[in-house]
């Protein structure tokens, strides 16, 4: 059947879907705002065009034939595709409003995402943003969130994943500290330095490094253990010792001369680094508020990372 013959049947196919879903002609007619006889005529016209019987009619109810079941599935997909096309075509012009629930880790949310969220709300004032700041990896389904932003080397497989950037851990110290202590040239040199650790568990004082095929593990110690990156940065800047920080916490301080990166040819192993991932549940029909947030955060984060 060519396109010229299919186009006149599209409306009949949509009505057939409504009849099948409603279970009788009267309910379908009421939903469509037409008479039952008009619905009956269009179903008969569709059956004649296709050359098959779609519906078994009785005085009390109707039932789809075997051919009707197959045809219904195809027509249903056609109708859903049409609805999706309409949704996509209006996404840029219709008002964007509603609640967005987003989970993000504390440090990244405060240092990187906070100004972006403010800008997003100014651009879309009818969106309400509910931000859950936590270092726990939440489940979008069970924890009722629309978007999960987290730093990981292993994104959750069941979710859509969009890479927004990457994070590496940087080893650094203040110029004042290095004036009074020798600059470490190898990870083993850290044994002789005061090191500021997270203190979350016993292995936080065991720093592992990699350089090409070389590996080095060093047990460090120091006067201050703190699992808050902002407080750790303050302590490093004030010369309490050498510490590790995510690169987005270090960059500005390095540019201003408050911090000096160390062991740059070595990669520190461990948590709190990897890809910055935006993850969410796959959906055939995405609300406009979700779509604009994805486009906004991708554009802002990728622009920041490439600048």
How far apart are alpha carbons 284 and 107 in whole angstroms?
A: 33
Residue-wise DSSP of 33-49:
TS-HHHHHHHHHHHHHH
pLDDT of residue 204: 86
Model pTM score: 0.64
Scored b (16 or more CB within 10 A) or e, 272-290 reads bbbbbbbbbeeeeebbbbb
Question: Half-sphere exposure (CA, 13 Å, Cβ side) for 175?
Answer: 6
Determine which helix (DSSP H) or strand (DSSP E) holds 84, and give its type and residue range.
Answer: helix 66-90
pLDDT of residue 93: 45
Residue 127 has pLDDT above 90, yes or no: yes
User: Dmax over Cα atoms in the chain, in whole Å?
Assistant: 97
Question: Half-sphere exposure (CA, 13 Å, Cβ side) for 256?
Answer: 8
Q: Read off the pLDDT band of 198 (50, 70, 90).
A: confident
Structure confidence by residue, pLDDT tens digits, 136-159:
888 887 788 999 999 998 998 889
How far apart are alpha carbons 109 and 103 in whole angstroms?
A: 9
Catalogue all structural domains in the chain, each as residue range(s) with its CATH number. Answer: 3-90 (1.10.10.10), 98-150+283-306 (3.40.190.10), 169-268 (3.40.190.290)
Closest listed residue to residue 193, CA positions, set 168, 216, 173, 175: 173
Structure confidence by residue, pLDDT tens digits, 161-195:
999 999 999 999 999 999 999 999 999 999 999 99
Scored b (16 or more CB within 10 A) or e, 237-266 reads bebbbbbbbbbbbbeebeeeebbbebbeeb
Structure confidence by residue, pLDDT tens digits, 260-275:
999 999 999 877 889 9
Phi-psi region of 51 (alpha: psi -120 to 50; beta: other; left: phi over 0): left
């Amino acid at each position: 059947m060519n396109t010229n013959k299919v186009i006149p049947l599209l409306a009949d196919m949509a009505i057939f879907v409504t009849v099948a879903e409603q279970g009788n002609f009267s309910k379908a007619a009421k939903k469509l705002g037409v008479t039952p006889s008009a619905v009956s005529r269009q179903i008969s016209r569709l059956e004649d065009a296709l050359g098959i019987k779609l519906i078994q009619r009785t005085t009390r109810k109707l039932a789809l034939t075997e051919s009707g079941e197959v045809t219904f599935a195809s027509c249903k997909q056609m109708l859903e595709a049409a609805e999706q096309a309409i949704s996509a075509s209006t996404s840029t012009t219709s008002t964007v409003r509603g609640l967005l629930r987003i989970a993000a880790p504390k440090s990244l949310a405060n240092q990187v995402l906070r100004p972006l969220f403010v800008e997003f709300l100014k651009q879309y004032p009818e969106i309400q943003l509910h931000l859950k700041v936590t270092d726990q990896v939440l489940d979008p389904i069970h924890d009722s969130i629309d978007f999960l932003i987290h730093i990981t080397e292993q994104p959750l497989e069941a979710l859509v994943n969009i890479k927004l950037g990457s994070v590496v851990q940087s080893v650094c110290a203040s110029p004042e500290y290095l004036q009074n202590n020798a600059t470490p040239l190898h990870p083993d040199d850290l044994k002789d330095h005061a090191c500021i650790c997270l203190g979350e568990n016993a292995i936080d004082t065991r720093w592992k490094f990699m350089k090409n095929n070389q590996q080095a593990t060093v047990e460090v110690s120091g006067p201050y253990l703190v699992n808050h990156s902002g407080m750790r940065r303050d302590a490093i800047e004030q010369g309490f010792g050498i510490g590790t920080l995510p690169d987005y916490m270090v960059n500005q301080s390095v540019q201003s001369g408050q911090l000096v990166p160390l062991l740059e040819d070595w990669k520190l192993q461990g948590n709190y680094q990897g890809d910055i991932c935006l993850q969410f549940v796959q959906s055939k029909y995405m609300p406009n508020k979700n779509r604009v947030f994805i486009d906004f955060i991708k554009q802002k984060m990728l622009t920041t990372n490439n600048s």
